[in-house]
Amino acid sequence: MERSQKCLICTPLIAKTVNEMLFQLQLAKESGADVAELRVDHITDFNAESDLPLLLKDRPLPVIVTPRAKWECKADSNEGYEGNEEARQDLLRKAYELGADYIDVELKVAGEFVKKLKDSSIKSSTKIIVSNHNWELTPSQEEIDATIEQMWATGGDIVKYVTTAKDITDVARVFHFLSEAKGRPTIGLAMGPTGMISRLLSPKFGGYLTFGALSKGQESAPGQPTVQDLIEVYRVKSMDRETVVCGVVGKPVYHSKGPILHNRGFAELNLNYVYVPFLVDDFAHFMSVYSESDFRGFSVTIPYKEDALRLCGDKVEFVAKGIGAVNTVIREKDGELKGYNTDCEGALSAIEDGLRHSGLATNSESPLKDKLFVVIGAGGAGKALAYGAKERHARVAVANRNYERAKTLAESVGAEAIELEKLADFRPETGMILANSTSIGMEPEVTKSPISKDALSAYSLVFDAVYTPKETQLLKDAIEIGAVDVSGEEMFYRQAFAQFKYFTGVPAPERAMRDALSSPPVAHKGTLPTRTPPPRTFPVSAQCSIGMFNGRGLRVSQFVCAYPFKNGWSFSHSAHFGMLMERSQVPSGSFALRY
Ligand code: NAP
What is the value of pTM for the model shown? 0.86
Catalytic residue among 127, 133, 371, 383: 133
- Evaluate: CB of 513 within 6 angstroms of ligand 1: no
* pLDDT tens readout for residues 189-211: 999 999 999 999 999 999 999 99
pLDDT (0 to 100) of residue 545: 28
Q: Choose among 25, 30, 187: nearest CA to 570.
A: 30
pLDDT (0 to 100) of residue 578: 32
pLDDT (0 to 100) of residue 217: 74
The answer to whether the bond into 469 is cis (omega within 30° of 0) is yes
Given a contact cutoff of 8 angstroms between Cβ atoms, the answer to whether 434 and 456 are in contact is: yes
Atom of ligand 1 nearest to the CA of 384: 26
Strand partners, 399: 376, 418
Q: How far apart are CA 169 and CA 71, in angstroms?
A: 28
pLDDT (0 to 100) of residue 591: 54
Q: What is the CATH number assigned to the segment(s) 8-236?
A: 3.20.20.70
- Which stretches in the chain have pLDDT values below 50? 1-3, 522-559, 565-568, 573-584, 594-595
Given a contact cutoff of 8 angstroms between Cβ atoms, the answer to whether 477 and 456 are in contact is: yes
The answer to whether the bond into 533 is cis (omega within 30° of 0) is no
Domain locations in the chain as residue ranges: 8-236, 344-486, 537-594
The answer to whether 383 is a known catalytic residue is no
pLDDT (0 to 100) of residue 589: 52
- Evaluate: CB of 177 within 6 angstroms of ligand 1: no
Strand ranges (E), 243-387: 244-250, 273-279, 295-300, 328-331, 337-340, 372-376
Q: How far apart are CA 500 and CA 513, in angstroms?
A: 10
pLDDT (0 to 100) of residue 215: 81
Take atom 43 of ligand 1 and give the residue whose Cα is closest.
381
- Evaluate: CB of 423 within 6 angstroms of ligand 1: no
Q: How far apart are CA 29 and CA 62, in angstroms?
A: 10
The answer to whether 343 is a known catalytic residue is yes
- C-beta neighbour count of 141 within 10 angstroms: 13
The string of DSSP letters for 18-60 reads: HHHHHHHHHHHHHHT-SEEEEEGGGSTT--HHHHHHHHHTT-S
What's the length of the chain? 595
The answer to whether the bond into 534 is cis (omega within 30° of 0) is no
Take atom 31 of ligand 1 and give the residue whose Cα is closest.
439
The answer to whether 282 is a known catalytic residue is no
- Evaluate: CB of 35 within 6 angstroms of ligand 1: no
pLDDT (0 to 100) of residue 531: 38
Given a contact cutoff of 8 angstroms between Cβ atoms, the answer to whether 20 and 31 are in contact is: no
pLDDT (0 to 100) of residue 590: 55
3-state SS, residue 565: strand
pLDDT (0 to 100) of residue 78: 86
CATH of 344-486, one of 2.30.30.700, 3.40.50.720, 3.30.450.20, 3.30.750.80: 3.40.50.720
- Evaluate: CB of 491 within 6 angstroms of ligand 1: yes
- Which residues lie below 8 Å from residue 589, measured CB to CB, with a gap of 6+? 563, 564
pLDDT (0 to 100) of residue 21: 94
